[in-house]
Amino acid sequence: MSNRQISTKQQHKQYGIFYHSVNLSIMTSSFNKKGLHMKYKGIIFDLDGVICHTDKYHYLAWKQLADKLGIYFDEKINNRLRGVSRMDSLEIILENYNGSLTATEKENYSEEKNNIYKRLLEDMSPSDLSKEVKDTLDQLKEDGLKLAIGSSSKNARYILEQLGLEGYFDAISDGNNIEKSKPDPEVFLKACEYLGLSPKECLVVEDAKSGLEAAIEGGMDQAAIGDAVYTQLATYDLATFSDLLKCIR
């Protein structure tokens, strides 16, 4: 838990959002150009499972590789890969491998998976970006918040391009500029750095436990969406993406 959160979790429902702890970030909050009180100056989004949903493409790519290696792979194992880097994901899959691979072979298989995944991503288009997500992002921008991507994926920029969001975000921190994947906070701390903001001025939106843990370790408040809601770790639990607008004021 962040140092800026009271250790005793008080759970109450307000405006459709569950608040698990008292948020002290108001002490460092500001007002936007419209004079509205804002709790944060920046929002950092995970990409897969938050802005868009590419889980099916990841699953199909890993399944094809696992089948080639004779490794059992299913949706349950795939869920363990959420928010995890490609090489770390391969290591999880190899837990069910009877043989052994050299470091070079692992690199080659990791690249093979990525090539399969990228071919599948060619089918993505702006139609894969929901109206709710785009409208919410537009409103956050209008409210004067800086927006960033904090993703372990090395394909983040390509995915954003496919969605029609190339150049939309103020900063992108992804698998190409980090050495440690989530739950290490590096990807989010770099996003803060790129935005020119401190961690306490930023809110992280995540759909995976490892991402929430990374945000907590980095000293940022967190908004959980999707399966991450069930971890009970986050500052806020979102029922829908647009609920994010209720967290910032």
pLDDT of residue 181: 87
Opening angle at CA 248, ends 198 and 180, nearest 5: 40
pLDDT of residue 29: 53
Phi first, then psi: what are they for 149, rounded to 5°?
A: -100, 135
Per residue in 80-100, pLDDT tens?
A: 888 788 999 999 999 999 999
Active site residue 243: no
Of the options 2.60.40.10, 3.30.470.10, 1.10.150.240, 1.10.150.120, the CATH number for the domain spanning 55-121: 1.10.150.240
Of the options 3.40.50.1970, 3.40.50.1000, 3.40.50.970, 1.20.120.530, the CATH number for the domain spanning 12-52+129-246: 3.40.50.1000
Per residue in 127-173, pLDDT tens?
A: 999 999 999 999 999 999 999 999 988 899 999 999 999 999 999 99
pLDDT of residue 33: 57
pLDDT of residue 23: 44
pLDDT of residue 2: 37
Q: DSSP letter for 99, please.
A: S
Is 68 annotated in some ligand binding site? no
Q: Where are the domains of the chain?
A: 12-52+129-246, 55-121
pLDDT of residue 32: 59
Is 48 annotated in some ligand binding site? yes
The structure tokens listed for 208 are: 């995976």
**Does 28 or 210 have the greater pLDDT score?**
210
Q: How many CB atoms lie within 10 A of CB 122?
A: 9
Average pLDDT, the chain: 88
Contact 147, 173 (CB under 8 A): no
The confidence band for 36, taking pLDDT boundaries of 50, 70 and 90, is low
Element (H, E) at 148: strand 146-150
Is 46 annotated in some ligand binding site? yes
Active site residue 138: no
At which residue do the structure tokens 């906070």 appear? 185
The structure tokens listed for 169 are: 């975000």
Is 143 annotated in some ligand binding site? no
